Amino acid sequence: MEIITSNKDCEKLCYNGYMYVLKHFGKSKITWRCSKRSSFKCMGKLYTNVQKEDPVLKSDHNHFGDSEKVDVEKALCIMKEQSKSGLFKPLEVYAEGVAKLNDHVKRTLRNQCSKLNPIESTSLDNLTIDNEWCTTGHPEYENLLIFDNGVDSEQRILIFGTVEGMNNLSKSSTWYLNGNFALAPKLFLQL
Per CB under 5 A, residues contacting Zn ion are: 34, 36, 42, 44, 61
User: Nearer to Zn ion by C-beta: 14 or 144?
Assistant: 14
Residue 28 CB, nearest approach to Zn ion (Å): 24
Q: Please, which residue, 17 or 161, has the CB nearer to Zn ion? A: 17
Q: What is the distance of C-alpha 134 from the center of its chain?
A: 17
| Distance from C-alpha of 112 to C-alpha of 92, rounded to nearest angstrom | 19
| Neighbouring residues of 50: CB distance < 8 A, sequence distance ≥ 6 | 25, 26, 27, 28, 29, 30
Write down the least CB distance from residue 66 to Zn ion, Å. 10
Closer Cβ to Zn ion, 36 or 52, answer by number: 36
CA 140 to mean position of chain CA atoms: 14
DSSP per-residue string spanning 39-76: HH----EEEEETTS-S-EEEE--SS---HHHHHHHHHH
Q: How far is the CB of 72 from Zn ion (least distance, A)?
A: 17
What one-character-per-residue DSSP string does 26-42 give?
-SSEEEEEETTHHHH--
**Closer CB to Zn ion, 33 or 82, in the complex:** 33
**Nearest distance, CB of residue 36 and Zn ion, angstroms:** 4
Between 42 and 75, CB nearer to Zn ion: 42
* CB of 1 vs Zn ion, minimal distance in Å: 16
**Secondary structure (3-state) at 3:** strand
| Burial zone of 34 (CB within 10 Å; 0-12 exposed, 13-18 middle, 19+ buried) | buried
